Amino acid sequence: MSSPEPGTPARQRALELQRLLNAAAHAYYVLDAPLMEDPVYDRLYRELLELESAEPALRSPDSPTQRVGGPPAEGFRSVRHRIGLLSLDNAFNTTELEAWYARLLKVLDREPGTALPMVGELKIDGNALALSYEHGLLVRAATRGDGEQGEEITANVRTIGAVPLRLQLEPAPAWVEVRGEALIPDTTFAAINGERAARGEALFANPRNACAGTLRQLDPKVVAARRLDFFAYTLHLPEGEAPPSQWAALEWLRRAGFKVNPNAELLPDLQAVEGFFQRWDGGRRQLPYATDGVVVKLNDLALQDAAGFTQKAPRWAIALKYPAEEAPSRLLRLTCQVGRTGVVTPVAEFEPVALAGTSVSRATLHNADRLAELDLHAGDTVVVRKAGEIIPEVVRVLAELRPEAAQRLELPDQCPECGSELVREAGEAATRCVNSSCPAILRGALRHWVSKGALDVDGLGSKLIEQLVDRGLVGSIADLYRLDGAVLASLERMGSRSADNLVAALQASKTQPWHRQLYGLGIHHVGEVNAKALAAAFASAAELATAALDSPDVITAVFGIGAEIAQSLQQWFGTGANQRLLTELERLGFTLALSGEELEAQAQRSAAGSGPLSGQTLVLTGTLPSLSRSQAQALIEAAGGKVSGSVSKKTSYVVAGAEAGSKLSKAESLGVPVLSEAQLRDLVGALDG
């Protein structure tokens, strides 16, 4: 079918209807100021729908009829975020807030007590979303996921009225990344649960869980029916186009058509932040949605850039949480769990209590010191809360309600799993079972090895691992790869097809990248982030073992890796059982090394490292005349140099552009050479022409 001419009455009417309906939706969902009655909106919407149905070429991506459309999806694809979604560090009282602020001043090289303007925002208890716009049009929406990649849920997010399908800006930027929180208001949540109860369906525990489950619905029509809301709070724009401050960024989002939480405040100093936090401790209970704290952000974006990030969170922002809801309960028993590293953790089991929308009946007590601090006795009444609204914890014991002659509770002397004597090293809080053959340690090691962040073996859950260990079929990680279909099929709830699929999944896991294998080994202090850093620096287990045993200082030279991790690696690789495990894995087909493609990329980087900036560390600050930040970094790395986010005595050069911040001042105070973009190009021999 040919497209209608631009000036035809049908196209003119369709454009007029789209404009009217989009304006009405923005007024209703974002401004809370309806422009027209519902019957009028419905009549205009039906007219537009009929026009577009008769002539599909009239249907544009930002038409209001496209908020809900298309058949249910078969699944969600994983997408990498253009800009990562880092989580925030938490503070649980004003003392921790003040400690964060003192660290921030130190990073920025400011005098203690310096007042820096900040923005206070409510911490909405919802689900973070990443929205991508190109030339003003919404092209992708994704969940947070692990911060680096999430699931694409664009069709579902289109149903949220507070999310503009097209930005209300002319001209629109080439691209913009918007971050915000999807949520279900309390009244909507109550209505959803009322409908589910009437249908005899299980009720959602709380609005946050309901929102998360809704966003992952395969049918957008189901999502639309649950009437999600959205608050925008962060944006990222092309180099040179960003507003100068967080406060200006919130205003930019409002002008672009987003719903921005109206309770944000510009706060001149830390005292004002504390007042903001205290006001909303009481005020939050009158809000129509759930909040669990406030978020504090440094207002000046140039100072944010100067403060930088840790591996997990920005240094320039923090979430200040409110004390969690508490409830009393009677202790039923004290049990102990043995983890994969042999750490024995006491667990309090008590009568179920409702907290933050869920039923809670057990909480970890962490270690023997915490157990002694609580002075826990059999039959005690304990006060329980959810730390950060998520993790149950025992806050205190109501000793005045203690039964007469109640026995004091302590950790056992022997491992509850294998009976071996427990050990507590001097200076350590943890009590451990040191028997490497302990079934609990083995089960934990196997669960960790097959977990999603490690080898990601589908079909090998905790119940099956318990059977394999209890029957003596598996005594190490390597034994998993000696299992055959017939043995697996003989286990409970395992048919021949499931057994064959598991064998195939185990064999496929041998091709997982080196950093996943390293993480899967379960070395103390080596998490996913550290495993990636170590795998990038040491191409194989053999290289890492040599460095750990012979040159630990080489390990601590890796960014983000400290002496504690180096010592842990030295202990692990120095243990005979672990050396034998690596040998067995290699015999079974594991390379325990970077793949050929990864080695080739590393070789290219190494070749680049022989350039004019080989061995040099540079810091970028300010806006360069013609190079974006990423282009400048690529230029430096191609010349063999490294780019760091902070200035120190070890910095070789600082490359400064317009509006350079505190990094330039620090470079000058330390005597670090400062380069312009032209001087950088001269240095790397990359002058145009």
CA gap 378, 482 in Å, rounded = 46
Same domain, 156 and 275: yes
Phi/psi zone of residue 293: left (φ > 0), alpha (ψ -120 to 50 degrees), beta?
Answer: left
Say yes or no to pLDDT of 380 above 80.
Answer: yes
Burial of 353 from C-beta contacts in 10 A (0-12 / 13-18 / 19+)? buried
Same domain, 628 and 600: no
Q: What is the pLDDT of residue 686?
A: 45
Q: What is the pLDDT of residue 44?
A: 77
User: What's the total number of domains in the chain?
Assistant: 6
Same domain, 237 and 251: yes
Q: What is the pLDDT of residue 32?
A: 58
Judging by DSSP bridges, how do beta strands 265-267 and 674-675 pair with one another? unpaired
Question: Which strands sit side by side in the sheet containing 617-621, from one edge to the other?
Answer: 642-644, 617-621, 653-656, 674-675
Quick one: DSSP state of residue 313?
Answer: S
Same domain, 260 and 169: yes
SS3 for 538?
A: coil
Alpha-carbon distances, residue 335 vs 332, 344, 363, 399, 467 (angstroms):
10, 10, 10, 20, 22
Per-residue pLDDT tens for 466-485?
Answer: 999 999 999 999 999 999 99
SS3 for 447?
A: helix
The four Cα atoms 492, 496, 498, 502 give a dihedral, to 10 degrees, of: 100
Same domain, 315 and 229: yes
Q: What is the CATH number of the domain that holds 290?
A: 3.30.470.30
Per-residue pLDDT tens for 340-366?
Answer: 888 899 999 999 988 866 788 999 898
Say yes or no to pLDDT of 71 above 60.
Answer: no
Judging by DSSP bridges, how do beta strands 229-236 and 175-183 pair with one another? antiparallel
In a domain, 235, yes or no: yes
What average pLDDT does the structure give for the chain?
86
CA gap 255, 31 in Å, rounded = 12
Please report, in angstroms and rounded to a whole number, the separation of the first and last CA atoms in the chain: 51
Give the residue among 357, 408, 364 at the shortest CA–CA distance from 384.
364
Active-site option among 123, 386, 532, 666 = 123
Does the active-site annotation cover 123?
yes
Domain end among 539, 570, 604: 604
Per-residue pLDDT tens for 524-539?
Answer: 888 887 888 888 888 8
Q: What is the pLDDT of residue 30?
A: 64
In a domain, 424, yes or no: no
Q: What is the pLDDT of residue 447?
A: 93
Domain that holds residue 657: 611-684
Domain end among 604, 634, 665: 604
Quick one: DSSP state of residue 314?
Answer: B
Q: Above pLDDT 70, what percent of the chain?
A: 91
Q: What is the CATH number of the domain that holds 618?
A: 3.40.50.10190
Neighbouring-strand partners of residue 317: 297
Q: Which of 140-149, 410-419, 533-542, 558-567 has the highest mean pLDDT?
A: 410-419
Q: What is the CATH number of the domain that holds 459?
A: 1.10.150.20
Same domain, 469 and 503: yes
Give the residue among 299, 263, 305 at the shortest CA–CA distance from 117.
299
Same domain, 544 and 488: no
Burial of 85 from C-beta contacts in 10 A (0-12 / 13-18 / 19+)? buried
In a domain, 329, yes or no: no
Confidence of residue 434 (pLDDT cuts 50, 70, 90): confident
CA gap 411, 422 in Å, rounded = 10
Same domain, 209 and 351: no
Which stretch of DSSP H or E encloses residue 154? helix 154-157
CB atoms within 10 A of CB 560: 12
Q: What is the pLDDT of residue 390?
A: 64
Say yes or no to pLDDT of 634 above 80.
Answer: no
Confidence of residue 601 (pLDDT cuts 50, 70, 90): low
Summarize the confidence of residues 162-181 as an average pLDDT. 93
In a domain, 423, yes or no: no
Q: What is the pLDDT of residue 633?
A: 76
Domain end among 511, 536, 568: 511
Same domain, 61 and 116: no
Same domain, 158 and 235: yes
Residue 130 in contact with residue 141, Cβ under 8 Å?
yes
Same domain, 497 and 645: no
